[in-house]
Amino acid sequence: MKKDIFDFDYNELVNEFSKLGLEKYRVDQVLDWIFQKKVFNFDGMTNLSKENRTVLDERFSISIPSLLDMQVSNIDKTTKFLWRLEDGNTIESVLLFHPDRVTACISSQVGCPAKCVFCATGQSGFVRDLKAGEIVSQVVAMEAQRRVNIGNIVYMGMGEPLLNYEEVLKSIRILHNEKTKNMSMRRISVSTVGIPEKIIQLADDLPEVKLAISLHAPNNYKRDMIVPMNRKYSVEEIVYAAKEYQKRTKNRVTFEYILIREFNDSRDDAEKLADLLKGMGAYVNLIPVNPVDNVENLKLERPHYWAVDRFKEVLDKRNIENEIRKEKGTDIDAACGQLRRRNVK
């Protein structure tokens, strides 16, 4: 059985090539073809001898996911991908276009065990963790499809990245290596629903990587209702871990807060959130909820525009830095999990 070349970090690949009698610089050549030139077969790597190409092709695969569907926004070019993996499972990735950069949102699991009620991915259930190579290959595949250079990466696609901790860390280290994507750690963010012990571990393992926490409610009563994992990890535990992360890394934590009409968008909710984050220097992204189709017994309505403005005004007055996130891809299935649910029955 062939080994997927994306599953190896640089040193592991050097070791694998040495077993075949191939020099270290051959690794550099292969990685340049894959990550820079976007050549995904050994036959096309013309600065390797035919013999070397044959040896590599016999032992390794370059497993780029198959494109099942792609939607491109006519408004802002936001691009949503649905990929098929080698075992037939499907995952999503998204490209976001900004004036000065292109950001990739990538998946870390097939489905998601967190089951947040406002997330289409959570409604589809959890299947399995992704391997490091399956995470990395999303980045390469998106760059090849859209002919772009991705400047920022956010682990904010399908799945809870801190529940696939080792593979996520390995994928970050692979993408960071100068011979692959050469991505600065400071341009990589991990978005989590909040796994306190893993947040603290991340601070020690990869202190330059940025952290975003999906909070969405200022107390346990309300968060229990929309984020089932809160019954295991309380708001207080998560905020404590975030403070410890900041202390160890000196990085500011971003909190994601989805606003749901007449549920968590009141003035009192804003005041309680400000109390919770007081003194942290945290940053809050305010996100009007994106309705999820075919989720029964849930009333997830977008807040009134004035309620969003009121929430922001309270945080401003309490010196909690925040912004109302500008929506992207509103004319496509941009919410995480929607494209997969509509294509896979």
Catalytic residues: 92, 336
Residue 102 tokens read as 């292109």
Place of tokens 């695969």: 61
Distance in angstroms (rounded) separating the CA atoms of residues 179 and 219: 45
Using CA of residue 26, residue 29, residue 33, residue 36, what is the dihedral sign?
Answer: positive
Please report where in the chains the tokens 């305010």 appear, as a residue.
286
Q: How far apart are CA 43 and CA 50, in angstroms?
A: 8
Provide the token pair at 285.
């992204």
Tell me which DSSP letter residue 282 carries: -
Please tell me the number of Cα atoms within 13 Å of 265 on its side-chain side: 22
For residue 230, what is the DSSP state? G
Side chain identity, residue 113: P
Task: List Cα–Cα distances, 288 to 255, 306, 335, in angstroms.
Answer: 14, 12, 12
Q: Which residue has the tokens 């092709």?
A: 57
Within 8 A by CB and 6+ apart from 92, the residues are 80, 81, 82, 83, 107, 121, 157, 158, 336, 337, 339, 340
| Residue 133: Cβ within 10 Å count | 21
Got the DSSP string for 160-223? -GGGGHHHHHHHHHHHHSTTTT---GGGEEEEES--HHHHHHHHHH-TTSEEEEE---SSHHHH
The residue written with tokens 């998560």 in the block is 238
